[in-house]
A and B are shown apart, each in its own frame.
Chain A
Amino acid sequence: MSCLQTIQDYGLRSLGLGERLLPRDNFTLCDQFVLIGSGMVWNVYFGVCALIAGFFLATLVAVGKGARNPLLRKPSEWFILVFRGSPLFIQFFFAYFLFLDLKGISPIFDAFTAAWLGALIVLFLNTAAYSGEIFYGALRSIPKGDVEAADAYGFSGWPRFRRIVWPTMLRLAWPAYTNEAIFLFHATTLVFFSGFPAWQQRGDALYYANYFADKTFNPFIPYPILAGYFILLTLCVIGFFGLVNRRLNRHLPGEARRRLRLRPNLIR
């Protein structure tokens, strides 16, 4: 079987298209590359969706944590504490069994026990908490002069937030937020190893890599392939976030622009 054939059969296997049965023996390098690559679809999906949705909630949480009213502040603080203080792995398990119980109450929750929605919600809340903390830190380090100048020009309320506070906050938080994004993508590999089942063997990249390692008993091929894919993904993320960073800092003189410095935090 040629490699092109393999791509046709398994290129979108993780979405349930193409050949139904996974290869069982005589694994070629091509098989492994294609299947693990097709699993990456899920990693990208989880990462991108959680990141976009999480961004808005994170802004809300950050503003809430900075608010003076305890009715706004306390829930935000607890939200951040709970999601940053406990392992993501346990969160996945808890959410899965929670949804499973809710499913018994009402069929509305059917979709939530599937990974595409249930795990996405967990990742969304998790990343919102982590980036909320980052944004909160940035919010507190906005230069005093900026806000005073805005006051002097008669900005207040929403326009002041939208035009002055928010862009500055993003600009300050961006390097840390880039790291958060990278590690969110890494965290997506946990999904199919927690409670969420891979229905009809439609898993993510790590799921397939693990499948090959189990079948061939040789970890030295599938895991490096996976690592290669993830390094590529990380480079893409860095590239994209670098572009945004350039735009956020475009008003600053050349030397003052800080280059993105990557200080990845580790596991969640």
Chain B
Amino acid sequence: MACYLTTGKHMSLYWSFGTVLLLLAITAPTALVFGFGGAMAARSRILPLRWFGKVYIMLVRGVPDIAFFLFFVIALDQAFEWMRHQFLCPDWDAPIRQGNDFVVCAAAKLPLSTAPQWVHEVYGFFTAVLTFAIVFGAFAANVLYGAMRAVPRGQLETAEAYGMSRHQVNWRILIPQMWVYALPGLSNLWMVLIKATPLLFLLGVKDIVYWGRELGGTANPRFTDFPHGDWRMWYFLALLIFYLAFTRVSELFLERVMKRLTRGQATTGGEAQRRAGA
């Protein structure tokens, strides 16, 4: 059994857990940046920017997210190639969309067709991260937008009374205070992000779902030392338990963070803590 679980392919399976964690580690901050940008745009005083922010938030929420994942991966890929095409081959005169084909000059292909395999994989992973960041950025933008509006009006008015400019009010008063209000929403988002990671499979990254399917399938005695029947059920059961444990652990962790952050805040949670301590 120990021997079976340490074959080369199983090692790839264990590495793909790393892929998932890496995706989470990169996507979470990137999505937060996108969300911050979106929320700031939605609050902006410049009308087109405000529209852009609001449409960004609205659109991603109204449509099944999986459709977005499938859409953005192709759209982003084509956008990058199109930009490189404009830049690298300005004297190309054939149209880019020829019927059902998307044709760019060879130098603009991404990744270059001569590139080694790992570049292709890294590029695929990169587009996947960007897609996740765009979709979750919209969710985060929504949370942060709500949090910005939840900061007590009096705080901002006081700042204005002290003669701060709008910019100063934003950066010195509004943004430091909004995080407490945003945290429940953001931690909820983190759970959702964890549960969205199996969708990586749909974006063509070899993640745990891919390997679970590969390894669990009937193994033929001709090709492997460890023949077995269809074990995919057990592999997916293991994945199910992995996710369950992961969400449970983050739940406990976030609870502690929340407890730490509410300390001394003028919210009901902070008040309750103060009373319990006194």
- Which size class do B's interface residues fall under? 35 or more
Chain B residues in 8 Å Cβ range of A61: none
Total A-B Cβ pairs within 8 A = 119
> A-facing mask of B101-142, CB < 8 A → 1, else 0?
110000000000000000000000000000000000001000
CB distance A190 to B62 under 8 Å?
A: no
In-complex Cβ contact of A227 among B63, B78, B232, B247 (8 A): B63
In-complex Cβ contact of A219 among B71, B195, B237, B248 (8 A): B71
CB distance B240 to A90 under 8 Å?
A: yes
Chain A residues in 8 Å Cβ range of B247: 85-86
CB distance from A95 to the nearest CB of B (A): 9
Cβ-based interface call for A210 (8 A): yes
Chain A residues in 8 Å Cβ range of B67: 189, 206, 209, 223, 226-227, 230
Cβ-based interface call for A240 (8 A): no
In-complex Cβ contact of A85 among B61, B189, B197, B244 (8 A): B244
Known: A87-B196, A97-B230, A217-B74. A264 touches B64 (CB 8 A): no
Chain A residues in 8 Å Cβ range of B212: 93
CB distance from B256 to the nearest CB of A (A): 18
CB distance from A6 to the nearest CB of B (A): 18
Cβ-based interface call for B270 (8 A): no
CB distance A101 to B71 under 8 Å?
A: no
CB distance B66 to A189 under 8 Å?
A: yes
CB distance A190 to B66 under 8 Å?
A: yes
CB distance from A93 to the nearest CB of B (A): 5
Chain B residues in 8 Å Cβ range of A190: 66
CB distance from A20 to the nearest CB of B (A): 22
CB distance A93 to B101 under 8 Å?
A: no
Cβ-based interface call for B157 (8 A): no
In angstroms, Cα B206 to Cα A243, docked, is 46
Chain B residues in 8 Å Cβ range of A209: 67, 70
CB distance from B213 to the nearest CB of A (A): 8
In angstroms, Cα B209 to Cα A190, docked, is 14
> B-facing mask of A189-202, CB < 8 A → 1, else 0?
11001000000000
Cβ-based interface call for B211 (8 A): no
CB distance A90 to B239 under 8 Å?
A: yes
Interface residues, chain B, CB within 8 Å of chain A?
59, 61-67, 70-71, 74-75, 78, 97, 100-102, 139, 188-189, 192, 194-199, 201-202, 209, 212-213, 216, 230, 232-233, 236-237, 239-240, 243-244, 247-248
Q: A90-B209, A230-B67 are in contact. List 7 more A-B contacts (CB 8 A).
A: A85-B243, A86-B243, A193-B202, A215-B100, A219-B74, A223-B70, A230-B62
